[in-house]
Structure 1
Amino acid sequence: MFLMHKPSGDIVEVMDLEALFDPFRIEVEGRFHAGEEMQDPTGFRKSDMLFLSGEHMPRCWVDPHYKERRI
């Protein structure tokens, strides 16, 4: 899956989708898709990622307490 890295605006290929969907994980492994050579995988904070459309990730992917009621 491809997401956008907010600080740089570059596209990131997420390598571990299970980590992306797990709300208890704050970081995912991915690699930038910029330049001519394939980049080495590195860790990215999920809070620094957006969908390519600019939308934020679903709360159930980033907040372990998403089922709790907000008051």
Structure 2
Amino acid sequence: MLLQLKDTGELVKILEIQELIDPNSDIVQAQDQEGQEEQQPENFKKENLVFPSGEDLPRCWLDADYRQDNA
């Protein structure tokens, strides 16, 4: 799955989808898609990632307590 960095717009390839959808994990391993050669995996904060369309990641992927009512 490809996601985009909010600040630079660069694409990164998510290596482990389960890590991405786990709300208890703040980081995800991904490979920068810059250049012709495959890049080394790096850790990225999920809060800095969006879908290539610019849409934010689902809250349930980022917040383990997303069902808690903050009212």
Amino acid paired to 1:4: Q
Q: TM-score, normalised by structure 2?
A: 0.95
Under a length normalisation based on structure 1, what TM-score does the superposition of the two structures give? 0.95
The answer for the alignment partner of 1:3 in structure 2 is 3
After TM superposition, what 4+ stretches of structure 1 lie above 3 angstroms from structure 2? Answer: none
Report percent identity of matched pairs. 35
Give runs of aligned pairs for residues 1-71 of structure 1, distance below 5 A: 1-71=1-71
User: RMSD over aligned Cα, in angstroms?
Assistant: 0.7
